[in-house]
A and B are shown apart, each in its own frame.
Chain A
Amino acid sequence: MKKAISIRVNGVERAVEVEARTTLLELVRERLGLTGAKLGCDIQVCGTCTLLVNGRPVSACSVLAVDVDGSEVLTIEGLGGQNSLHPLQEAFMRFGALQCGYCTSGFILTAKALLDEFPKPSDEQIRAYLAGNFCRCGCYQEIVQAIQDMARA
Chain B
Amino acid sequence: MAMTEIGKSVRRLDYEIKVTGKAQYLGDMQVPGMCHGKILRSPLPHARIKNIDASKALKVPGVVAVITRDDIVSDEGIEPYYGPVFKDQTIVAVEKVRHVGDPVAAVAASTVDAADEALRLIDVDYEELPAVLNVQEAVRPGATLVHESVRIPESGFADLAELKPVEGTNICTHFRLNRGDIEKGFAESDLVFEDTFTLPATQHCFLETHACIASVDPGGRITVWATTQNPFVVRTQLSNIFKVPVSKVRVVVPYLGGGYGGKVYPKIEPITVALALKARLPVRVLLSREEVFYTITKHGAAIRMKTGVKKDGTLVARECEIYLDTGAYAEIGPRVAKKSGYTAAGPYRIPNLKIDSYSVYTNKPPAGAFRGFGVSQSAWAVESQMDIVAAALKIDPLHIRLKNGYREGDRFVTEETLRSVGLQQCVEEVAKSIGWEDKKFKSAKVHGEKSDAVKRGKGLACMIKATITPSISCAVVKLNEDSSLSIYTGTIEMGQGSETVLAQIAGEELGIPLEKIQVLGVDTDVVPYDLTTSSSRSTFHMGKAVQLAAQDIKQQLKQTVVKEYGVPDDQVRFAGGKILLPETALDYADAMFKRFGMRGGTLVGDGQVKTSVKDEYGEKSTSAFWFVAAGAAEVEVDSETGQIKLLKYATAVDVGKALHPLGCRQQLSGGAITGIGQAMFEEIAYDNGQLINPNLVDYVLPSLADMPPVIEPISVEIPHKDGPFGAKGIGESALIPVAPAIANAVFDAVGVRIKDLPIKAEKIYLALEAAKAEP
Question: Which residues of A are at the interface with B, using a C-beta cutoff of 8 A?
Answer: 29, 34-43, 45-46, 48, 75-77, 79-80, 85, 89, 92-93, 96, 98-105, 108, 123, 126-128, 130-134, 136-144
B24 (CB) vs chain A CBs: closest residue: A35
CB within 8 Å: A-B pair count: 154
Q: Which of B477-510 contact A (CB under 8 A)?
A: 494-497
Q: Which of B1-49 contact A (CB under 8 A)?
A: 9, 11-12, 14-16, 18-25, 27-28
| Cross-chain contact B289 with A96 (CB below 8 angstroms) | no
Residues of A within 8 Å of B11, CB to CB, are: 93
| Cross-chain contact B207 with A45 (CB below 8 angstroms) | no
Known: A89-B19, A93-B11. A130 touches B704 (CB 8 A): yes
- Given A43-B289, A75-B21, A76-B19; 13 other pairs, CB 8 A cutoff: A40-B207, A43-B695, A46-B696, A76-B20, A100-B206, A100-B207, A100-B256, A103-B207, A104-B21, A131-B704, A134-B701, A137-B258, A143-B704
| Cross-chain contact A128 with B705 (CB below 8 angstroms) | yes
B661 (CB) vs chain A CBs: closest residue: A96
| Cross-chain contact B19 with A38 (CB below 8 angstroms) | no
Residues of A within 8 Å of B707, CB to CB, are: 127, 140-141
Known: A40-B207, A102-B208. A138 touches B673 (CB 8 A): yes
| Cross-chain contact A93 with B19 (CB below 8 angstroms) | yes
State in angstroms the CA–CA spacing of A40 and B591 once bound together: 51
Is B770 positioned at the interface, with any CB of A under 8 Å from its CB? no
| Cross-chain contact B255 with A96 (CB below 8 angstroms) | no
Q: Which of B249-277 contact A (CB under 8 A)?
A: 255-258, 260
Residues of B within 8 Å of A89, CB to CB, are: 19-20
State in angstroms the CA–CA spacing of A85 and B669 once bound together: 27
Cross-interface CB contact of B288 among A42, A80, A108, A138, cutoff 8 Å? A42
Is B295 positioned at the interface, with any CB of A under 8 Å from its CB? no
| Cross-chain contact A46 with B207 (CB below 8 angstroms) | yes
Closest 9 A/B residue pairs (Cβ): A36-B21, A100-B495, A102-B257, A138-B673, A138-B670, A101-B18, A99-B495, A76-B21, A131-B705
Residues of B within 8 Å of A41, CB to CB, are: 289, 695-697
B663 (CB) vs chain A CBs: closest residue: A96
Contact with A along B668-699 (1 / 0, CB 8 A): 01111110000000000000000000011100
B676 (CB) vs chain A CBs: closest residue: A138
Nearest chain B CB to A20 CB, angstrom units: 14
| Cross-chain contact A39 with B27 (CB below 8 angstroms) | yes
State in angstroms the CA–CA spacing of A105 and B18 once bound together: 8
Cross-interface CB contact of A101 among B257, B669, B671, cutoff 8 Å? B257
| Cross-chain contact A136 with B20 (CB below 8 angstroms) | no
Is B584 positioned at the interface, with any CB of A under 8 Å from its CB? no
| Cross-chain contact A99 with B16 (CB below 8 angstroms) | no
Among A93, A136, A138, find the residue whose CB has the most chain B CB atoms closer than 10 A: A138
| Cross-chain contact B206 with A136 (CB below 8 angstroms) | yes
Cross-interface CB contact of B23 among A45, A99, A101, cutoff 8 Å? A101
Is B703 positioned at the interface, with any CB of A under 8 Å from its CB? yes
Residues of B within 8 Å of A79, CB to CB, are: 20
Residues of A within 8 Å of B16, CB to CB, are: 85, 93
Residues of A within 8 Å of B671, CB to CB, are: 138
A142 (CB) vs chain B CBs: closest residue: B666
Residues of B within 8 Å of A105, CB to CB, are: 21
A98 (CB) vs chain B CBs: closest residue: B18
Is B179 positioned at the interface, with any CB of A under 8 Å from its CB? no
Residues of A within 8 Å of B614, CB to CB, are: none
Nearest chain B CB to A3 CB, angstrom units: 18
Known: A38-B257, A39-B27, A41-B695. A141 touches B20 (CB 8 A): no
Residues of A within 8 Å of B14, CB to CB, are: 101
Residues of A within 8 Å of B288, CB to CB, are: 42
Residues of B within 8 Å of A77, CB to CB, are: 20-22
| Cross-chain contact A99 with B666 (CB below 8 angstroms) | yes
State in angstroms the CA–CA spacing of A132 and B440 once bound together: 36
Nearest chain B CB to A145 CB, angstrom units: 11
A123 (CB) vs chain B CBs: closest residue: B709
A41 (CB) vs chain B CBs: closest residue: B696
| Cross-chain contact B704 with A144 (CB below 8 angstroms) | yes
Nearest chain A CB to B645 CB, angstrom units: 13
| Cross-chain contact A96 with B208 (CB below 8 angstroms) | no
State in angstroms the CA–CA spacing of A128 and B703 once bound together: 10
| Cross-chain contact A102 with B207 (CB below 8 angstroms) | yes
Known: A134-B703, A136-B701, A141-B707. A96 touches B21 (CB 8 A): no
Is B665 positioned at the interface, with any CB of A under 8 Å from its CB? yes
Residues of A within 8 Å of B701, CB to CB, are: 46, 134, 136
Cross-interface CB contact of A140 among B25, B209, B662, B673, cutoff 8 Å? B673
State in angstroms the CA–CA spacing of A143 and B707 once bound together: 12
Residues of B within 8 Å of A99, CB to CB, are: 258, 495-497, 666, 670
Residues of B within 8 Å of A34, CB to CB, are: 21
State in angstroms the CA–CA spacing of A141 and B695 once bound together: 25
| Cross-chain contact B704 with A40 (CB below 8 angstroms) | no
Residues of A within 8 Å of B19, CB to CB, are: 76, 85, 89, 92-93, 98, 101, 104, 108
Among A35, A101, A108, find the residue whose CB has the most chain B CB atoms closer than 10 A: A101
Residues of B within 8 Å of A76, CB to CB, are: 19-21
State in angstroms the CA–CA spacing of A126 and B705 once bound together: 9
Residues of A within 8 Å of B662, CB to CB, are: 96
| Cross-chain contact B27 with A96 (CB below 8 angstroms) | no
| Cross-chain contact A96 with B665 (CB below 8 angstroms) | yes
B289 (CB) vs chain A CBs: closest residue: A41
State in angstroms the CA–CA spacing of A22 and B760 once bound together: 40
Cross-interface CB contact of B21 among A37, A93, A126, cutoff 8 Å? A37
| Cross-chain contact A38 with B703 (CB below 8 angstroms) | no
Cross-interface CB contact of B207 among A75, A108, A136, cutoff 8 Å? A136
Residues of A within 8 Å of B761, CB to CB, are: none
State in angstroms the CA–CA spacing of A46 and B288 once bound together: 14
Nearest chain B CB to A143 CB, angstrom units: 7
A126 (CB) vs chain B CBs: closest residue: B704
State in angstroms the CA–CA spacing of A80 and B170 once bound together: 58
Residues of A within 8 Å of B665, CB to CB, are: 96
Is B302 positioned at the interface, with any CB of A under 8 Å from its CB? no
Known: A93-B15, A136-B260, A142-B666. A40 touches B21 (CB 8 A): no
State in angstroms the CA–CA spacing of A137 and B697 once bound together: 19
Known: A41-B289, A77-B21, A85-B19. A35 touches B258 (CB 8 A): no
Among B27, B209, B257, B497, find the residue whose CB has the most chain A CB atoms closer than 10 A: B257
Q: Which of B683-742 contact A (CB under 8 A)?
A: 695-697, 701, 703-705, 707, 709, 711
State in angstroms the CA–CA spacing of A37 and B669 once bound together: 25
Known: A99-B666, A131-B704. A104 touches B18 (CB 8 A): yes
Is B395 positioned at the interface, with any CB of A under 8 Å from its CB? no
Cross-interface CB contact of B12 among A42, A93, A132, cutoff 8 Å? A93
Is B205 positioned at the interface, with any CB of A under 8 Å from its CB? yes
Nearest chain A CB to B433 CB, angstrom units: 14
State in angstroms the CA–CA spacing of A121 and B670 once bound together: 24
| Cross-chain contact B28 with A35 (CB below 8 angstroms) | yes
State in angstroms the CA–CA spacing of A45 and B720 once bound together: 43
State in angstroms the CA–CA spacing of A136 and B696 once bound together: 12
